[in-house]
Amino acid sequence: MAVDRLTVVGRSVPRLDAHDKVTGAARYVSDFILPGMAHAKLWRSPVPHARLLAVDGARAAAAPGVLAVCTADDLPVKRLAYGPAYKDQPILAREVVRYAGEPVVAVVADTPARADAALALIDVRYEELPAATNAEEAQAPGAPVIHTTLDRAGHFRDLDGLRPVAGTNVCQHYRYERGDLARAVAEADLVVDDVYRYPALSHHALEPHCAVARVDADGITVWSGTQHPFPVRKDLAEIFDVPLAHVQVVVPLIGGAFGGKCYTKIEPLAAALAARVRRPVRLALTLEESARTITRHSVVVRLRTAVRRDGTLLARECDVVLDTGAYADIGPRVATKAGSRAPGPYRIPCLRIDARCVYTNNVPAGAYRGYGVPQVTWASESQIDVIAERLGIDPFTLRERNLLKRGEEYVAGDTPLDGDMADGLGQAARAIGWGAPLTRNRGRGLACAMKDGGGTHAVSTAVVHINADGSVILLSGSVEVGQGARTALAQIAAETLGVPFEAVVVPAPDTSLTPYDHGTSASRSTTVMGLAVAAAAKDAREQLLALAAKLLDAPPSALTIREGKIAHGNRTLTLAEVISGHFGLVGGEVTGVGTFVPGEWSGSLGGATVFWETGMGAAEVEVDRETGEVHVRKYVSAADVGQAINPRECAAQDEGAAMQGIGPALFEARVGERGQLLNPGLIDYRVPTFADLPEALDSLLIENADGPGPFGAKGVGESGTFCAAPAIGNAVARAVGVRLTELPMTPERVWHALVSKGASP
């Protein structure tokens, strides 16, 4: 039986969570109330680096409603530290604090207000230590070494291995080299050498981190808006030394995540406090506290590129330095990703890459949409335009000449490129009007990038239950963070089963009830979980057809299934008739199981990716020479989605990503001073709003059904973030002749650049 034409996949059905979100009925973790639930508030370090001398919590403990005042030593845990790369981060700081804002003492009280009030009564004595508050300081001779020993978490394999540099703050040094670099440089017609800077960013999901935990004889239950329920379960099992089956992580809807809710965050603290006070505990951070919990890496990229006169890229040296803050989080893998993607999606014979992930006394940096790639793409795609300008070659032509072609391997053993980037970039260029005349102070810019998508070593399992009335329950651990995963997976299940979309319901992930999934990141859900869902649905469909074959007295292969009906010639049975024909009138259901296990690791620049996520961007800007303000008049983002499961949602993902790329291109950045975050909240920290929308923002979906996912799908959602900054930067350069190397391109910076260039308004 073959699905001969798509009926559900490829349709922009409304999102399953749309109604609840629009009406306010949607339930987030912070909406949970448990009987006897207490509330936790945190005392955070005011200084970036200090030795803790003493904590006096007696006055706080005596305050009204206070149930407990806990330091690290008071937590009933078997191990205090956790982290996906190194177990370097304590649940509460112990002996030393490593960044300003680090939680040191937790107060649990019967109301949030009483917990908050008691914080002021806590007396912490500490001795300040010299702090390294950026990666340069942290790598300087004599810098304080922030972690003297490192305990590997065991999640990394050989080929994407952890390589810390002993006795330094470098917790990961990713290196790659090929070809004879010196010779290539010597033979080159042009060598350009530039340094680009990308700022630290706050995720600022509208929903700050929140966890509700209960610990009793049934085990540990944590409700948390995490992107990684199963890895969080694993961490909790290790921290409390209990079997995985005794830990339940439940994830309701999430109000945005963007990587800031990857891996374990506040869940161990909530659970430890619940175990301590023997009551359920709710730990709800403020937005400002979330900004002190995790950040995007600020990155400095030095690129030295050798090129022939005709534009052929010969060699590229990439030095990438990431400030990962006080705890590594997933920083080492971000560094690997940034390093491996720094050369850009080009055919370059000689490469030398050094990417360093550096501990500093800043807020820990971790995953953030497209991690590593937007930062290095800002550098590499800016420099491609620099080269084009120096050689007098059209930037599109230069790129086209060097871009990897479909089927090419970046490194032997990599997954061959599964799309046509030159074609995609061409589409974006045409859409922006590349080459058409422009008025004064206007310019157009291009950029393109690729990223290995689908995650690393990431297993997904799905279960499909077909109920007695033909309605379907799809169990999947993929988290709905606003990206529409539930909807896309329901479409895949419906299409594969031959039932209407409306027949499929997707409950929220729950590690005790929904099957294993590694997590929701790396644009993986549609492709990787999608394959598991398709396999589970196929398993169920085959069982159904076998049951129907008996009832219809025909071989299963002769049956068709569509819109909830199984047909053989003129005879049709509804799914309900088939199921009750087998199980009887009372009830029963057909259960299918599907698992995706990724292939073995083999490549060396990020490895055998599940698919390549490629993004192409084109911007048209107008620069106000008097103020330096950059207006994005038009922005086109092209995403190669293989097959759009839900075109509207794919475009929405891509548009949202582009907007999230425009933020740091023009105005968005964390501002720090001596380790103090000066703009934790949304008053001082600018995120893009509707007012910042380009006059025209278009998303082009490239669909050649050439992805490895169900129905030829590839992942989407990160690629839109890659190109906005360099495309805008390139457009600014072409508009007014100034090249910025540091983001964001604020009016002040642009104005200064214009002035130093001597350009007149």
Instruction: Point out the residues that are catalytic.
Output: 718
* Nearer CB in complex with a copy of itself: 191/593: 593
User: Cβ 456 to a copy of itself, closest distance in Å?
Assistant: 8
Q: Is residue 595 within the footprint of a copy of itself (CB under 8 A)? A: yes
Considering only residues 128, 151, 187, 216, which one is a binding residue for a copy of itself as defined by CB under 8 A? Answer: 216
Q: Helices marked H in 621-646 — which ranges?
A: none
Tell me the residue ranges of DSSP E strands in 130-218: 170-178, 190-198, 210-216
Considering only residues 231, 259, 454, 672, which one is a binding residue for a copy of itself as defined by CB under 8 A? Answer: 231
Tell me the residue ranges of DSSP E strands in 397-467: 442-453, 460-466
By CB under 8 A, what part of segment 107-166 binds a copy of itself?
Answer: 154-155, 157
User: Cβ 587 to a copy of itself, closest distance in Å?
Assistant: 6
Contact 692, 665 (CB under 8 A): no
User: Cβ 471 to a copy of itself, closest distance in Å?
Assistant: 4
* Nearer CB in complex with a copy of itself: 353/573: 573
By CB under 8 A, what part of segment 526-545 binds a copy of itself?
Answer: none
208 burial class (0-12, 13-18, 19+ CB within 10 angstroms)?
Answer: buried
Ordered DSSP codes for 87-131: S-EESS-BSEE-STT-EEEEEEESSHHHHHHHHTT-EEEEEE---
Torsion on CA atoms 228, 229, 233, 236, rounded to nearest 10:
70
Q: Which of 8, 201, 249 is nearest to 668 (CA)?
A: 201
Considering only residues 237, 546, 687, 755, which one is a binding residue for a copy of itself as defined by CB under 8 A? Answer: 237
* Nearer CB in complex with a copy of itself: 585/691: 585
Interhelix angle 647-666/724-736, nearest 10 degrees: 50
The neighbouring-strand residues paired with 357 are 172, 322
Residue 668: how many other CB atoms lie within 10 Å:
22
User: Cβ 237 to a copy of itself, closest distance in Å?
Assistant: 7
Q: Is residue 244 within the footprint of a copy of itself (CB under 8 A)? A: yes
Considering only residues 99, 176, 223, 230, which one is a binding residue for a copy of itself as defined by CB under 8 A? Answer: 230
Kindly calculate the radius of gyration of the chain based on its CA atoms and give it in whole angstroms.
27
Stretch that binds a copy of itself, among 139-147, 175-183, 443-451, 455-463 (CB under 8 A): 455-463
User: Cβ 85 to a copy of itself, closest distance in Å?
Assistant: 13
Q: Is residue 631 within the footprint of a copy of itself (CB under 8 A)? A: no
Considering only residues 219, 370, 445, 694, which one is a binding residue for a copy of itself as defined by CB under 8 A? Answer: 219
Distance CA 424, CA 65 (A): 61
User: Cβ 468 to a copy of itself, closest distance in Å?
Assistant: 7
Pair of tokens at residue 138: 């942290």
By CB under 8 A, what part of segment 30-49 binds a copy of itself?
Answer: 31-35
Contact string (CB under 8 A) for a copy of itself, positions 488-517, x = contact:
--------------xxxx-x--x-xxxxx-
User: Cβ 758 to a copy of itself, closest distance in Å?
Assistant: 56
User: Cβ 338 to a copy of itself, closest distance in Å?
Assistant: 21
395: number of CA atoms within 13 Å, CB side?
Answer: 28
User: Cβ 12 to a copy of itself, closest distance in Å?
Assistant: 19
Place of tokens 């030393």: 96
Considering only residues 123, 394, 409, 469, which one is a binding residue for a copy of itself as defined by CB under 8 A? Answer: 469
Distance CA 633, CA 650 (A): 23
Considering only residues 150, 593, 608, 755, which one is a binding residue for a copy of itself as defined by CB under 8 A? Answer: 593
Distance CA 145, CA 138 (A): 8
* Nearer CB in complex with a copy of itself: 153/669: 153
Pair of tokens at residue 241: 């030394």
User: Cβ 584 to a copy of itself, closest distance in Å?
Assistant: 4
* Nearer CB in complex with a copy of itself: 419/594: 594
* Nearer CB in complex with a copy of itself: 325/603: 603
Count of residues that bind a copy of itself according to CB under 8 A:
65
User: Cβ 36 to a copy of itself, closest distance in Å?
Assistant: 9
Pair of tokens at residue 701: 């979906």
Considering only residues 139, 382, 383, 471, which one is a binding residue for a copy of itself as defined by CB under 8 A? Answer: 471
* Nearer CB in complex with a copy of itself: 233/316: 233
Going 524 to 530 to 531 to 532, the CA torsion angle's sign is: positive
Q: Is residue 78 within the footprint of a copy of itself (CB under 8 A)? A: no
Q: Is residue 218 within the footprint of a copy of itself (CB under 8 A)? A: yes
Q: Is residue 585 within the footprint of a copy of itself (CB under 8 A)? A: yes
Q: Is residue 473 within the footprint of a copy of itself (CB under 8 A)? A: yes
User: Cβ 29 to a copy of itself, closest distance in Å?
Assistant: 12
Considering only residues 141, 142, 243, 437, which one is a binding residue for a copy of itself as defined by CB under 8 A? Answer: 243
Peptide bond into 744 cis (omega under 30): yes
User: Which residues are CB-neighbours of 163 under 8 A, at least 6 positions away?
Assistant: 172, 173, 174, 175
* Nearer CB in complex with a copy of itself: 168/591: 591
Considering only residues 11, 94, 197, 246, which one is a binding residue for a copy of itself as defined by CB under 8 A? Answer: 246
**Which helix (H) or strand (E) covers residue 239, if one does?**
helix 229-240
User: Cβ 66 to a copy of itself, closest distance in Å?
Assistant: 23
Torsion on CA atoms 719, 725, 730, 731, rounded to nearest 10:
100
Distance CA 624, CA 634 (A): 16
Contact string (CB under 8 A) for a copy of itself, positions 312-331, x = contact:
--------------------
Contact string (CB under 8 A) for a copy of itself, positions 643-672, x = contact:
------------------------------
User: Which residues are CB-neighbours of 418 under 8 A, at least 6 positions away?
Assistant: 406, 611, 612, 642, 706, 707, 708, 714
Stretch that binds a copy of itself, among 134-142, 314-322, 412-420, 454-462 (CB under 8 A): 454-462
* Nearer CB in complex with a copy of itself: 504/618: 504
Place of tokens 């009483």: 114
Considering only residues 179, 302, 574, 583, which one is a binding residue for a copy of itself as defined by CB under 8 A? Answer: 583
Contact 530, 524 (CB under 8 A): no
Torsion-angle region of 711 (φ positive above 0: left; ψ -120 to 50: alpha; else: beta): left
Residue 581: phi and psi, rounded to 5, are -60, -30
User: Which residues are CB-neighbours of 22 under 8 A, at least 6 positions away?
Assistant: none
Considering only residues 461, 527, 653, 721, which one is a binding residue for a copy of itself as defined by CB under 8 A? Answer: 461
Considering only residues 2, 54, 586, 691, which one is a binding residue for a copy of itself as defined by CB under 8 A? Answer: 586
Stretch that binds a copy of itself, among 323-331, 450-458, 687-695, 743-751 (CB under 8 A): 450-458
Q: Is residue 71 within the footprint of a copy of itself (CB under 8 A)? A: no
Distance CA 585, CA 624 (A): 74
Torsion-angle region of 180 (φ positive above 0: left; ψ -120 to 50: alpha; else: beta): beta
* Nearer CB in complex with a copy of itself: 459/705: 459
Going 224 to 230 to 232 to 236, the CA torsion angle's sign is: positive
Q: Is residue 208 within the footprint of a copy of itself (CB under 8 A)? A: no
* Nearer CB in complex with a copy of itself: 49/486: 486
Distance CA 97, CA 361 (A): 9
Binding site for a copy of itself (CB under 8 A): 19-20, 23, 25, 31-35, 154-155, 157, 216-219, 230-231, 234, 237, 243-246, 248, 456-459, 461, 463, 465, 467-473, 475, 502-505, 507, 510, 512-516, 518, 582-589, 591, 593, 595, 597-598
